Amino acid sequence: MNPNPIPDPDQTDIRENDILFDCPYCGKSMAIEEAGAGLMVPCAACGKEVQVPIPDASTPVAPVAAPRAGLAVGESPAETVRQLDAALAMANEQIDRLISEKEALQERRAYLEQIRGGQIARLEQLAGELARLQESLDRALSLLADIRAEKPV
């Protein structure tokens, strides 16, 4: 799972799900398979340890190969249409997966917000109880101080 420096986009073997990132020390572009997310790896150019980013919406991913403009020798229009249909189906699957992930995250967020609201209410109640306890302790200490201050007759 070594990162690959990206010297020239035309000469690299970058797969669709690879994570693309730059070394923060030397700026060298690198690619690593998605299983490497979060790992510390040496930069292929400068050798310093670099953490592979965990993909999110801002992390670039390796682009899907674009269909060629025009037909190759011996390639039929039907084959080109088949390839485009396959690429479109894959893109639609990715969209569906991302929509499902988004919905799951929205449900999780709503659940966590509900829990948070309940916790805040309980903490406010606890703070009130502690304030009343402190007032009682303060009154008890005041009475003790008064008792100690009195001299026996």
pLDDT of 80 higher than 90: no
**Separation of alpha carbons 58 and 50, rounded Å:** 18
Look at the pTM and tell me if it is higher than 0.85: no
What are the distances in angstroms from CA 132 to CA 85, 127, 143? 70, 9, 17
pLDDT of 113 higher than 70: yes
Read off the pLDDT of residues 38-61 as tens digits, 9 standing for 90 and up.
888 999 899 999 998 887 766 555
Distance between alpha carbon 63 and the CA centroid of its chain, in Å? 20
Domains of the chain, by residue range, sit at 4-51, 79-153
- Which residues are CB-neighbours of 83 under 8 A, at least 6 positions away? 67
